[in-house]
Amino acid sequence: MKTKADVQQGTLALMVMKTLEVMGPLHGYAISRRIGQISGELLDVNQGTLYPVLLRLEQEGSIASDWGVTENNRRARYYELTASGRKALQAEAAQWEQTQAIMARFLTVKAGDLS
Amino acid sequence: MKAVRRVWMRLRGMFAGAAEERRLAEEFAAHEELAVADLMEQGVPEAEARRQARREFGGGAAMRERYRDQRGLPWLEFLAADVRFGWRQLWKHRTASAAAIVSLALATGACMAAFRLVDALLLRQLPVAKPQELYSLARAGVGFDGKPAEFDGWAFPAFQLMREAVKGKAELMAVSFADRMELTYGGDAEIERATVQYVSGWMFPDFGLRPAAGRLLTEADDRVPGGHPVAVVSHTYWKRRLGGDAPPVGKTFRLGGRLYEIVGVAPEGFTGTEPGVVVEIFLPTMMFRGAVMKDYTWHRTLLRTGDPAQLGALQGQLHAVSRAFETERLRGASVLSRNRIDQLTQRLVIQPAGGGVSGMQSGYRRFLGLLGVMVGLVLLIACVNAANLMTAQAGARAREMAIRVSIGAGRWRLIRLVLAETALVAVLATALGVAFSWWAAPFLVRQIETPSMPVWLDMPADGRVVAFGFGMALLVTMAFGLLPALRASAVRPASALKGGENPHARRRTMHALIAAQVAFCFVVLFLAGLFAQTFARLSSRPLGFTPEGLLLLDVAARDPLPRATWEALAVELEALPGVESAAISSRMLLGGQSTNSFISVAGRPPSPRLAYFVTASRGWIDTMGIRLLAGERLPAGDAAGQALVNEAFVKEYFGGGDAVGKRFLRGKEEYQVAGVARNAPYGDVREEMLPAVYISYGNWGIDNTVVTVRVRDGNPQAMAAAVRSELARSHPSLRIRNTRTQQGLVEAQTLRERLLAMIGLFFAVVAAWLAGLGLYGVLDYAVLLRRKEIGIRMAIGADGAGIARLVTRDAFAMTVLGGALGAGGAAALGRYIEPLLYGVKAMEPGTFGAPLAIVAGLALAAAWGPVRTALRIDPLAMLRAD
Flag if A60 and B71 touch (Cβ within 8 Å).
no
Angle at B240 between CA B234 and CA B244, to 5 degrees: 80
pLDDT for position B437? 81
List of chain B residues whose C-beta atoms are within 8 Å of the C-beta of residue A28: 27, 30-31
Contact of A22 with chain B, judged by CB distance below 8 Å, is answered with no
Q: Are residues B27 and A29, on separate chains, in Cβ contact within 8 Å?
A: no
B50: left (phi over 0), alpha (psi -120 to 50) or beta: alpha
In chain A, the residue whose alpha carbon lies closest to the alpha carbon of B31 is A29
Parts of chain B with a pLDDT under 70: 1-18, 56-74, 143-147, 187-190, 332-345, 393-396, 448-462, 487-489, 491-507, 637-639, 881-882
CB within 8 Å: B70 and A56: yes
B246-259: string of b/e by CB count within 10 Å (b at 16+)?
A: ebbeebebbbbeee
Chain B residue nearest residue A48, CA to CA = B63
- Scan residues 23-82 of A and list those with Cβ closer than 8 Å to B: 27-30, 33, 46-48, 51-52, 55-56, 58-61, 70, 72, 74-77
Q: Which residues contact B21 (CB under 8 A, 6 or more apart)?
A: none
AA letter at B691: P
Residues 70-99 of B with CB under 8 A from A: 70-71
Long-range (24+ apart) CB contacts under 8 A made by B203-209 are B203/B173, B203/B175, B203/B302, B204/B232, B204/B266, B206/B129, B206/B171, B206/B173, B206/B304, B207/B126, B207/B128, B207/B129, B207/B270, B208/B128, B208/B129, B208/B130, B209/B128, B209/B129, B209/B266, B209/B267, B209/B270
Predicted local distance difference test score (pLDDT) of residue B239: 84
Q: Is A10 in CB contact (< 8 Å) with chain B? A: no
Contact residues, chain B, for A60 at CB < 8 Å? 2, 5-6
Is the minimum CB–CB distance between B205 and chain A shorter than 8 Å? no
Three-state DSSP state, B681: coil
| A-B C-beta contacts closer than 8 Å | 65
CB-nearest partner of B35 from A29, A46, A61:
A29
Looking at residue B635, its amino acid is: P
Among candidates A33, A51, A59 on the partner chain, residue whose Cβ is nearest the Cβ of B9: A59
What stretches of B459-592 show up as alpha helix (H) in DSSP?
Answer: 463-489, 493-497, 503-539, 563-574
3-state SS, B81-136, equals HHHHHHHHHHHHCHHHHHHHHHHHHHHHHHHHHHHHHHHHHHHCCCCCCCHHHEEE
Interface touch A52/B10, C-beta < 8 Å: no
Q: How many CA atoms lie within 13 A of B343 on its CB side?
A: 15
B335 touches chain A (CB under 8 A): no
**Neighbour count for residue B131 (Cβ, 10 Å):** 18
Distance, CA of B776 to CA of B41 (rounded, Å)? 78
pLDDT tens digit sequence for B605-615: 777 778 899 99
- Torsion angles phi and psi, residue B343, rounded to 5: -65, -35
Rounded Cα distance between B81 and B167, Å, is: 69
Residue of A nearest to B61 (CA): A48
Question: Whole-prediction pTM value?
Answer: 0.65
Could you tell me which of B588, B554, B534 has the C-alpha nearest to residue B743? B588
Select the residue of A28, A58, A60 nearest B2 (Cβ to Cβ): A60
Indicate yes or no: CB of B70 within 8 angstroms of CB of A52.
Answer: yes
Distance from CA of A76 to the nearest CA of B (A): 6
Backbone angles phi, psi at B174, to 5 degrees: -100, 135
* Chain centroid to CA A1: 24
Chain A residue numbers touching B6 (CB-CB < 8 A): 56, 59-60
Residue B65 touches partner A, C-beta closer than 8 Å: no
Which of B9, B30, B71 is opposite residue A76, by nearest beta carbon?
B30
CA distance B554 to B561: 15
Burial B718-754 (b: 16+ CB within 10 A, else e): ebbebbeebbeeebeebbbbbbbbbbbbbbbbbebbb
- Contact flag A27-B30 (C-beta cutoff 8 Å): yes
**Interval B166-209: pLDDT, tens:** 988 899 999 998 888 878 887 655 677 788 999 999 999 999 99
Residues 6+ apart with CB under 8 A from A98: none
Predicted local confidence at residue A1, as pLDDT: 38
Q: Residue A2 — pLDDT band, cuts 50, 70, 90?
A: very low
Nearest residue of chain B to residue A78 (CA atoms): B27
| Chain centre to alpha carbon of residue B810 | 39
Q: Do B34 and A70 touch (CB under 8 A)?
A: yes
CB B481 within 8 A of CB B384: no
Q: Are B543 and B746 a contacting pair, CB within 8 Å?
A: yes
Nearest to A76 among B34, B63, B71 (CB): B34
| DSSP letters spanning B825-849 | HHHHHHHHHGGG-SS--TT-HHHHH
- At B298 the pLDDT is 87
B34 touches A at CB < 8 Å? yes
ipTM of predicted assembly, 2 dp: 0.78
As a whole number of angstroms, the distance between CA B252 and CA B569 comes to 30
Query: Cα dihedral sign for B620, B621, B622, B625?
Result: positive
